[in-house]
Chains A and B, each alone.
Chain A
Amino acid sequence: MSKPKLYLFAIGGTGSRVLRSLTMLLASGVKTNTEKIIPMIIDTDINNGDVEKCRNIIKNYNEIHNSIYNGVREDEGQGEFFRTKIMPPRELNISGTDYGTLRDMVSYNSLEGKGFGKTKSLFDLLYSDANKDMPLEKGFLGNPNVGSVVLKNVVESQIFKEFTQDFNQNDRIFIVSSIFGGTGAAGFPLLLNVFRDEMSKLNNGNYINNAIIGGVSVLPYFQVDVDKFNSGESAINSSTFITKTKAALAYYNRNLKQLVNAMYYVGDTRQSSYENNDGGIEQKNPSNFIELTAASAVLDFLDYEKNAATKDDLQNASKFFEFGINTDTGVVDLNHIKKDDLKAQLLHFHYYNVYVSNFMTAALKNEKLAWRNELKLANNYHGQNFYKALDTFTSVHYYRWLIELAMDQHDRKFLPFDVSIMINKEEISQDVSGTLPVNTSVGDKKLFTLVTGIPASDDSNFFRKDYIKYDEEFSKLAQEIVDLQYGNTERTLHTLLNQGIQNIIAERYVL
């Protein structure tokens, strides 16, 4: 049986941020039981900064992935960086601007006519005037009751139809949403109901009805500045997050638990504090550890009963998971991660990124360097698209992600690696465009202390200083890798970097 495709529905701002963290995990080379991941982004706020960031990172990821793995068999290169294919996100964005307000969308004024009295009364009962007049261009601003009406249009969209046409028998669906906001809280139940509706006339409806569906529901993990809500500058009030969560959980328990096969809950009592921006380009919340755990739920779901093709093949119709850490600490590092393979991949990937950002340009310019010559890389390889894509991923996306995870505004930071090597953190935290590259400075000594709390083994003594020598390791391996005759320079280079870094980590760390 071929591996399933995963249709990953990322709803709202949280959905896009989880997708961003997932892309980082996939870039680090974690093994996945999927042929490819097809992100489906649902957000009515088409200008949302988080969505834009997510688009950029996946685009960059794909540039790298396609250069290396085009035409490569699925089972080859598992565990290498950027191995899993992520398709460009399909955006089921119904622009709120097109609808105006809820009042306009449902043609509320026409309900004044004869015969619609009861409908109008019911509508008035469910929606306040503020709900009715709320502009939809920035999402549902914590009002899932509004979202549940508007998002119904997603199902009618062309992209949703294309998704149903492409859906195969053993493909899986995973839905990422927050439970305490507007778009995610409204979208998750709506999608589940659509997918499980046996009467629906979707293309491949039978496959979709019987598909294994998972979801991660992100419980409150941040709060926003209440002053802006009180002054009317923002419509988001984080003091209602818990109440909304309780109500939604009760609803899920009553109506959804039989529809979903694997449900993950993540959340945190140690909350982050964000600026109160109700959508738009300014909504660029920093990455958060909780989003990373939600992303790891996606990977867990892919491994969940691997051999089951449909929901009928599962041992349990529904299973529920929660994420936890052993110690309630404000700073989470690699020591707190229980999954050894994830820990190892993150470590390898960090050393890889440090090489790309600090040493690779010099190596590519060094005409006498053995590995560079064995691979017959062009003299201007450092200026070519592939290397530029690697460098962009590292300096614009990866380091920024690490900086964001370690920001002071998080009451629980994720600090797996020493961020002091990043020298323009201040500029990065103020950069709204998200395109400013992070500058790093790493000396020979620093290479031994890149990982928080886990120093690399150092054999220095009175007579001899020990160094971590990337290029020496790569040069040792170069001939062997060239002999594999991939016929693709990028694949050869990438394999060399992967194996070389694996050797370095094996020599320096005991995981």
Chain B
Amino acid sequence: MENFYFLFEDLGNWDVWVDKGYSAGFIILLTTSLIINAIYYIVLGRKSMRFSTMGKWFMFGFINFALIFLITLVVEGITIFDLAFGEFHYEIWLFTIINAFYGFVLYTVLSLLFKRFSIFSKFIPVKF
């Protein structure tokens, strides 16, 4: 998993990241992106055309980004590293930001798979 997060390295807590931190981040990343894609393409994309625009697609991408950011921050900070609320840990913030950006990339990739299950958003973000 450390290879997947090659942009991030925290030598001081290497064991914790390898043991739980990376996998927790990845599960958050994958689960959130899958859920957001399912909501966008399967739930809303088959019900109404209201969300079938590039603007709305970016909006859901941002929601995915924000959710991953928040969940990762909370889970890594409180559950994995057992920090107190308000305590600052630079590496966790950095990992959270990287995970959120990964989230947007994964949302885009999953969109290409999920779009075929939609009626109204079948040609978003790209037409093929």
Contact = CB atoms under 8 A, between A and B. Distances in A.
Q: Is B one of A's binding partners?
A: yes
Interface of A: 367-370, 373-374, 469, 471-472, 475-476, 479
A373 B127 contact: yes
Nearest to A469: B49
Contacts of A472: 48-49, 120
Decide if the interface of chain B is mainly helix, strand, loop or mixed. loop
Interface string B112-128: 00000001111110010
23 contacts: A367-B127, A368-B52, A368-B53, A368-B124, A369-B52, A369-B123, A370-B49, A370-B52, A370-B119, A370-B121, A370-B122, A370-B123, A373-B122, A373-B127, A374-B122, A469-B49, A471-B49, A472-B48, A472-B49, A472-B120, A475-B49, A475-B120, A476-B119
By CB atoms of chain B within 10 A, which of A370, A374, A471, A476 has the most? A370
Please name the 4 residue pairs, one residue from A and one from B, whose CB atoms are nearest each other, closest first: A472-B49, A373-B123, A370-B120, A368-B123
A293 B6 CA distance: 80
Contacts, number: 31
B122 to A, nearest CB: 5
A121 B48 CA distance: 83
A476 B127 CA distance: 18
Interface of B: 48-49, 52-54, 119-124, 127
B49 A368 contact: no
Nearest to A472: B49
Contacts of A469: 49
A395 to B, nearest CB: 26
Given A370-B49, A373-B122, A469-B49, 7 more contacts: A367-B123, A369-B123, A370-B122, A472-B49, A472-B120, A475-B49, A475-B119
A368 B120 CA distance: 9
A476 to B, nearest CB: 6
Nearest to B125: A368
A34 to B, nearest CB: 39
Contacts of B124: 368
Contacts of A368: 52-54, 123-124, 127
Contacts of A369: 52, 123
Contacts of B48: 472
B56 to A, nearest CB: 10
Contacts of B119: 370, 475-476, 479
B44 to A, nearest CB: 12
A292 to B, nearest CB: 37
Contacts of B49: 370, 469, 471-472, 475
B35 to A, nearest CB: 23
A467 to B, nearest CB: 9
